[in-house]
Amino acid sequence: MATGNQRRVLVTGADGVIGRAVRQYLGDRYDLRCLTHRPAPYPSHVGDIADLASIAPAFAGVDCVVHLAASPSVSTPWSDILPNNLIGTYNVFEAARQAGVPAVVFASSNHTIGMNEIDNAPSIYQLDDPRVFDHLAEPRPDSLYGISKLFGEAVARYYVDRYGMRAVCLRIGTVRDDDRPGDPEVYGSVPEPLEYLTDEQRRERLRATWLSRRDCAQLISRAIDADDVPWAVVYGISNNPRQFWDLEHARRTIGYEPEDSAPV
């Protein structure tokens, strides 16, 4: 139940995998407002993020936007990337600016630097491999999807520098509806250059990249509440035995402390 002193947080893509986790875990912490592409079985503003006018009313009176809406697959074709991930992301930031929203939390992706993983797979998934990539890693997108998320980070930085907004970009790992990081069946797509991975190697990868729904919600909450952080790019995974994306920057910058861990 929302109270008068709760932050008003607009969640775009509120009916997606991460959006559902946000509604489940953060519904009592914030006064959540939802933006969905289609009518939902809960209160939401229905609009297409590729159409600025259709989504603008949802931003009125909002304290922070959590931008999750996008085509989420690493194999998404350009015909969908352009409206959903590029035009849509620009429109969300512009709608926030026009409405005077001070902060945006942007769901970016590990695929912004995905070629680093591709170059080092599958050995990088092993527990004794020391390689870790942090927020200063060179941008090396592995797909059109990765390019779109790198574009979103650039848009976020522009709105921080040009308009004084606050933005935290979350390079999210693997979030699953079933929240299971190591079951026998292999789910999810991998970048085309990694399609050679065996089922066991895909499971090893999943155990390294897994972000539990609870930890994902915490990561987003920490970003929402990081009022003294004008700009940050952080990675989002759980406290897994193998971590080839850095978590220390997220700990230091926004206070993220994952509670869950994939099995060894």
Nearest to 92 by CA among 46, 49, 38: 49
Interhelix angle for 17-26 vs 213-225, to 10°? 70
Residue 182 inside a domain? The answer is: yes
Q: How far apart are CA 147 and CA 143, in angstroms?
A: 6
How far, CA to CA in Å, does 129 sit from each of 3, 79, 105, 206, 225?
Answer: 47, 38, 31, 16, 34
Q: Which residues are designated catalytic?
A: 145
Residue 131 lies in domain:
8-254
Q: How far apart are CA 102 and CA 159, in angstroms?
A: 10
Residue 196 inside a domain? The answer is: yes
Q: How far apart are CA 71 and CA 77, in angstroms?
A: 9
What's this model's pTM, rounded to 2 decimal places?
0.96
Return phi, psi of residue 31, to 5°.
Answer: -85, 90
Task: Tell me the per-residue pLDDT of 51-74, one tens digit each, with 9 for 90 and over.
Answer: 999 999 999 999 999 999 999 999
Bin 8: left if φ > 0, else alpha if -120 < ψ < 50, else beta. beta
Q: How far apart are CA 49 and CA 54, in angstroms?
A: 7
Residue 199 inside a domain? The answer is: yes
153 pLDDT more than 90: yes
Is residue 168 within 8 Å of 219, Cβ to Cβ? no
Residue 142 inside a domain? The answer is: yes
Residue 118 inside a domain? The answer is: yes
**DSSP tag of 210:** B
Residue 231 inside a domain? The answer is: yes
Q: 111 falls in which pLDDT band (50, 70, 90)?
A: very high
Is residue 224 within 8 Å of 192, Cβ to Cβ? no
Q: Indicate the number of domains in the chain.
A: 1
Beta bridge partners of 41: none
Q: 183 falls in which pLDDT band (50, 70, 90)?
A: low
Give pLDDT, residue 188: 56
95 pLDDT more than 90: yes
What's 89's domain CATH number? 3.40.50.720
